[in-house]
């Protein structure tokens, strides 16, 4: 390797090392801040251990590259910590912490690549850091208890069923009539009835579980359903053109499905694109089938122009 090529490589490695130094300090600051705000003793301990790990990792990179944070970057960090703290409170510790840890596989791979270019005494320390990233931190995250996760399935039950069923109802009316108000009211009526039915099913399901409250499970399922139905029906009360109202309603359905899918895949460590494609395929497939059937009934009954 030429001297020039070696210098370019060393510069690239140095840039990566500095980037990791910044990342580790950022994570250390976030975990420390969350630990200071956490009132649950077990979660507080886990956050403190995570912060301790990240501080150790930051000090390692700082020893190699020097100080990596500037005054301006620390102002940016304070803003990021505030955002993460808000997410932690709103969406729960499990989602927030697993979101922070996404991409760790790529980070570990980069650590392994850098290992060959750092001084020999530091390599063993880096191996320990990699071990922390691979095992210790994951084990700590798995210890976290979050009541939101216990009832995540009931949110999914209400939301997913509402998106598919009510989009299907609206698609059926798209093929049967041009009256948006009729379609909107029909969606609400069907949705309210289905919400009661789904809440009852959730209640009966939760009765067989020792960890879930049947009334709370039914309430979460029913509310998820009703909120979804209301959002899907809303465009039909403000738009007079059926196709535009349907397009707006489908856009709302896609947005809700995308948001919930992202939340669930982060928590469950799944692949986002695959889950999203599966959910949207079911949603749009139901809409197309309902449209065809609604159009057939509309022509059969002669109500398409009503």
Is 218 in the same domain as 133?
A: no
32: confidence class by pLDDT, cuts 50, 70, 90 = very high
Say whether pLDDT at 18 is over 80: yes
- Return the half-sphere exposure (C-beta side, CA atoms, 13 A cut-off) of residue 92: 17
Residues 6+ apart with CB under 8 A from 18: 61, 65, 68
Widest distance between CA atoms in the chain? 84
Domain annotation covers residue 194: yes
Instruction: Give the long-range contacts of residues 104-107, CB within 8 A, separation 24 or more.
Output: 104/133, 104/137, 107/20, 107/23, 107/133
Is 159 in the same domain as 281?
A: yes
Is 10 in the same domain as 134?
A: yes
- Within 10 A of 88 (CB to CB), how many other CB atoms are there? 23
Looking at per-residue pLDDT, the higher value among 1 and 154 belongs to 154
| Site of tokens 């399901």 | 205
What is the arithmetic mean of pLDDT over 95-122? 79
Which of 136-145, 196-205, 228-237 is the most confident on average?
228-237
The distance from CA 134 to its chain's CA centroid, rounded to whole angstroms, is 22
Task: Please write the tens of the pLDDT for every residue from 47-67.
Answer: 898 899 889 888 888 888 877
Q: Of 146, 163, 187, which marks where a domain is finished?
A: 146
Give the relative orientation of helices 180-206 and 214-233 as an angle to the nearest 10 degrees. 170
44/52 Cα distance (integer angstroms): 12
pTM for the model:
0.71
CA distance readout (Å), 113 to 16, 49, 127:
10, 27, 12
Residue 265 has a pLDDT of 82
Give the chain's domain count.
2
Is 213 in the same domain as 297?
A: yes
Domain annotation covers residue 178: yes
Domain annotation covers residue 132: yes
Q: What is the DSSP string of 14-56?
A: HHHHHHHHHHHHHHHHHHHHHHHH--SHHHHHHHHHHHHHHHH
What is the arithmetic mean of pLDDT over 220-246? 87
The token duo for 214 is 């049947």
Which of 36-40, 67-71, 243-247 is predicted with the least confidence, judged by mean pLDDT? 67-71
Which of 108-112, 127-131, 157-161 is predicted with the least confidence, judged by mean pLDDT? 157-161
Is 170 in the same domain as 244?
A: yes
Is 179 in the same domain as 281?
A: yes
The token duo for 176 is 């049967």
Rounded to the nearest integer, the mean pLDDT of the chain is 78
Task: Please write the tens of the pLDDT for every residue from 251-264.
Answer: 888 888 888 888 88
101/137 Cα distance (integer angstroms): 9
Domain annotation covers residue 126: yes
Is 281 in the same domain as 187?
A: yes
Is 11 in the same domain as 121?
A: yes
Q: Of 146, 166, 194, which marks where a domain is finished?
A: 146
Domain annotation covers residue 297: yes
The H-or-E segment that residue 242 falls in is helix 242-268
Domain annotation covers residue 306: no
The H-or-E segment that residue 59 falls in is helix 41-65
Pick left, alpha or beta for residue 239 (phi over 0 → left; psi -120 to 50 → alpha; otherwise beta).
beta
Is 222 in the same domain as 279?
A: yes
Is 76 in the same domain as 122?
A: yes
Instruction: Give residue 164's domain range.
Output: 151-301
Burial per residue of 249-283, b for 16 or more beta-carbon CB atoms within 10 angstroms, e otherwise: bbebbbebbeebbebbbbbeeeeeeebbeebbeeb
CATH of residue 50's domain is 1.20.1260.10
Q: Of 113, 129, 146, which marks where a domain is finished?
A: 146
Domain annotation covers residue 261: yes
Is 213 in the same domain as 256?
A: yes
Domain annotation covers residue 227: yes
What is the arithmetic mean of pLDDT over 170-182? 72
* Under 8 Å between Cβ of 231 and 166: no
Residue 287 has a pLDDT of 67
210/113 Cα distance (integer angstroms): 48
Is 163 in the same domain as 284?
A: yes
pLDDT above 90 covers what percent of the chain? 1
Q: Where are the alpha helices (DSSP H) in 92-213?
A: 93-101, 104-115, 120-131, 137-143, 147-150, 152-176, 180-206
């Amino acid at each position: 390797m030429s001297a020039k090529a070696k210098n370019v490589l060393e510069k690239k490695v140095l840039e990566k090392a500095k980037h990791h130094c910044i990342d580790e300090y950022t994570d250390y600051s976030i975990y420390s801040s969350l630990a200071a705000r956490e009132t649950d003793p077990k979660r507080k301990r886990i956050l403190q251990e995570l912060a301790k790990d990240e501080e150790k990792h930051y000090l390692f990179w700082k020893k190699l590259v020097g100080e990596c944070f500037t005054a301006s970057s620390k102002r940016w960090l304070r803003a990021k910590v505030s955002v993460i703290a808000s997410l932690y409170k709103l969406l729960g510790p499990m989602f927030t912490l697993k979101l922070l840890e996404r991409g760790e596989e790529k980070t570990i791979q980069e650590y392994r690549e850098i290992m060959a270019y750092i001084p020999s005494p530091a390599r063993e320390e880096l191996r320990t850091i990699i071990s922390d990233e691979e095992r210790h931190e994951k084990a700590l995250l798995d210890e976290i208890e979050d009541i939101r996760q216990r009832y995540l399935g009931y949110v999914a039950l209400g939301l997913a069923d509402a998106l598919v069923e009510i989009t299907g109802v609206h698609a059926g009316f798209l093929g049967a009539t041009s009256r948006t108000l009729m379609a909107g009211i029909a969606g609400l009526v069907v949705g309210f009835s289905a919400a009661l039915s789904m809440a009852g099913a959730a209640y009966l399901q939760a009765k067989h579980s020792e960890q879930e409250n049947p009334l709370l499970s039914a309430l979460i399922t029913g509310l998820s359903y009703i909120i979804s139905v209301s959002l899907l029906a809303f465009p039909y009360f403000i738009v007079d053109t059926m196709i535009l109202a349907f397009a707006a309603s489908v856009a709302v359905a896609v947005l809700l499905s995308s948001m919930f899918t992202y939340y669930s895949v982060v928590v469950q460590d799944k692949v986002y694109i695959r889950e999203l494609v599966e959910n949207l395929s079911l949603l749009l497939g139901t809409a197309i089938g309902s449209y065809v059937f609604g159009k057939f009934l509309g022509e059969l009954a002669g109500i398409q122009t009503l």
